[in-house]
Structure 1
Amino acid sequence: MLDKASDPTPRSLRGARLSKHADYQRVYKQSRKHFSASMTYFFRLREAGFHTGPRIGLTAGRVLGKAVERNRIKRRMREAVRASLGHLRCNVDVVLHPRRSVLEIEFSRLREEVAAIFTRIEAAARSKQRGE
């Protein structure tokens, strides 16, 4: 059994969430759209300040289906993000737009896709910090 100090995955996303509309708008304005197999994502590097570490935001608009389906998509996405948050260590704001296909794909594939996205964002952040 792992103790909480050595567990690399956080139990909650409370401190790592985008919560304000202005935060989402800032990410949209200061980044560009990126694509993966079952979602679109935006990210923006942040200076170290009040918030340290990554902050993640999820969107699930009505185009994804009725409330039951949107809520299921959000639950699956939150769990995939929680499981993959260890791949992202830089100060960055990320907004994930899932597609409806998130309902049907295997959860392990969804988790791998989110981990791959976070790895790409981490690599882009490191290269930008080095000035490449």
Structure 2
Amino acid sequence: MGQAVDAGAATIDLTTSAVKRLTRRADFLAVAGGRRFHTERMTAQGMLRAGTELQGLRVGLTVTKRVGHATERNRIKRRLRSVVIAATPNLPRLPADIVLVARRPTLHAPFDQLVQDLRRAVDAVTKPPSGDNSGKRPRRGDAPSRRGGKSGRLPEPGTSASGPGSLHRRAAVESPSMPPDIQPPREPV
């Protein structure tokens, strides 16, 4: 009854395997917000599931049209499915979701290298979150600007990079291109 697959030295029954498939778009989108691990052959995105009754690892596969024609994409997906089956005995039994985004070198890469990449990727993306925020990149606006300012934000209205009363602002206020009736009022100097 159960579907069995020969994965090298071990035969794995897919109906009772610890690894399930991601099938819903919402699950793929949720995983995209998790950790990432990149190799030449694939990118793995993953995150631990919290507060769900689902146990075990779930894996989704993505092969974009940039990788090649339909027959090549299908072959890559078949190879990745076999890689997941072969790596299953050594994968952690965590409640986690992982999406593998294949690249073109997956098509001709040695099978053992793909299995090794998957094991490293699963370990990297399923690390439990640490208590501090040191592993995360700062959000835009929190980090110092590359231009030398304090942040990536614009200066407050009425000020400029040189401070209030800057020559640049005065030149803009006294611009002859604006008719006198709509020029902003002058500030005392």
State the TM-score, normalized to the length of structure 2. Answer: 0.57
Give unmatched runs, 5+ long, in structure 1: none
User: Could you say which residue in structure 2 is the equivalent of 1:24?
Assistant: 28
Q: Residue 61 of structure 2: which of 54, 58, 68 is its match?
A: 58
CA distance change for structure 1 residues 8 and 106 in 2, over 3 Å: closer, same or farther? closer
User: Could you say which residue in structure 1 is the equivalent of 2:177?
Assistant: none
Give the alignment of 1:5-84 within 5 angstroms. Answer: 10-12=12-14, 16-29=20-33, 31-84=34-87
8 A contact 1:24–1:95 mirrored in 2: yes
Structure 1 stretches of 4+ with a deviation exceeding 6 A read none
Higher relative contact order (CA 8 A, sep 6+): 1
Q: Tell me the CA shift for residue 48 of structure 1.
A: 4.8
Paired letter, 1:102: T
CA distance change for structure 1 residues 14 and 53 in 2, over 3 Å: closer, same or farther? closer
Paired letter, 1:64: V
- Please state which structure has a larger fraction of its residues in helix: 1
Paired letter, 2:41: S
Quote the Cα distance in structure 1 between the aligned partners of 2:125 and 2:18: 21
Quote the Cα distance in structure 1 between the aligned partners of 2:121 and 2:99: 11
Structure number with bigger Rg: 2
User: Could you say which residue in structure 2 is the equivalent of 1:92?
Assistant: 96
CA distance change for structure 1 residues 74 and 27 in 2, over 3 Å: closer, same or farther? same
Instruction: Kindly tell me the number of residue pairs found equivalent between the two proteins.
Output: 122
User: Could you say which residue in structure 1 is the equivalent of 2:121?
Assistant: 117
Q: Tell me the CA shift for residue 18 of structure 1.
A: 0.5
8 A contact 2:37–2:121 mirrored in 1: no
- What RMSD in Å do the two structures reach over aligned CA positions? 2.6
State the TM-score, normalized to the length of structure 1. Answer: 0.79
Deviations along 1:77-96, one digit per CA (max 9) or x if unpaired, are 01101111232211111011
